[in-house]
Amino acid sequence: MKYTLRHIVNFYLYSSLHIGLCCVMLYLFSVGRLGIEVDYSYLYFLLSSTIFTYSIHRIIGMNKVKKFAHQGRYAVISKFRNHIITYAILSGIYSLYLYIGFSFARMQLLFSSGLISVLYTLPIFGKSMRLRDFSFIKIFLIAFVWAFVTESIPLYESGISLKWIVILFVERVAFFIAITIPFDIRDLKLDLTNNVKTLPSILGIRRSTYVALFLLMYCIGSEIYLDTNGIEGCIPTILAYILTGILLYRVYKKDNDYYFSGLMDGTIMLPWILMKILS
């Protein structure tokens, strides 16, 4: 029974289904709090393209972790490599099918984030480097792409004031930087092996954690400002940030990837879940 449960959890996390659902729920929260109608073709695109990107990232990333290939999550990814390749192919085909059906304006908006995702994942630079292998840059790329596709694009297309788009974009970038710092802490040994400098390698684990907590405090302040200006969904979001802060504060004590790929990534779902519970 225990083996079966672990098998199911591993499939859910490392098939990229978990992170795909996180993306969907964040999009649903973004449009739901502002009363924007859900665009299901865009929702399905977010799900499939996220699964595609993260699956490709896992497959290609294994070439960078040969020293760790039989440890923890890398052993799981190696075991299910063929499955992950299948998920990547199917989700990539479906993403392309949806993309070519979008309006030209939306295709243009998605192009920049798509290009960043491709360059982030594929080793097309010198010495087989990916964009993520350049020091300090990956955390900002992740934050930009997630904020742009889950919030800025749907809000822009709905005609929301540019002021609110910018405020919400900056807040979401800050949130994603905050929850990406723990992954840099988790990958500290790996990044040092590959000569990739990150915030934890420069500031240390505790100071990096404090930076992440400060960013979450900024996010809470941003939500308080939004609440005073009549924007809905602030209470669920503030609660989500507080719960995220609690998990983040304990991150330096954790070495099980379920804490990171499960709980820390799962914080992305919290605003939508709490909005549904509290509504």
d(CA 149, CA 76): 29
pLDDT the model gives residue 243: 97
Q: Provide the percentage of residues in the chain whose pLDDT is more than 70.
A: 95
Longest dimension (CA), the chain: 52
pLDDT the model gives residue 79: 77
Q: Which residue is listed with tokens 């939004």?
A: 226
d(CA 181, CA 205): 9
The backbone torsions φ and ψ at residue 125, rounded to the nearest 5 degrees and listed phi first, read -90, 175
The structural domain count of the chain equals 1
What tokens were used for 89?
């192919």
Question: 210: burial class by Cβ within 10 Å (0-12, 13-18, 19+)?
Answer: middle
Average pLDDT for residues 5-34, to the nearest whole number?
93
Average pLDDT for residues 105-124, to the nearest whole number?
92
Residue 65 has pLDDT above 70, yes or no: no
Number of neighbours of residue 188 by Cβ within 10 angstroms = 17
Quote the domain boundaries for residue 13: 2-278
pLDDT tens, residue by residue, 191-231: 877 788 899 989 999 999 999 999 999 999 999 999 999 88
CATH of the domain at 163: 1.10.600
d(CA 28, CA 64): 35
List CB contacts of 48: < 8 A, sequence separation 6 or more.
20, 91, 92, 94, 95, 98
Handedness of CA 147, 149, 151, 155 (dihedral sign): positive
Residue type, 79: K
Q: Which of 114, 131, 130, 219 is nearest to 174 (CA)?
A: 219
d(CA 183, CA 88): 22
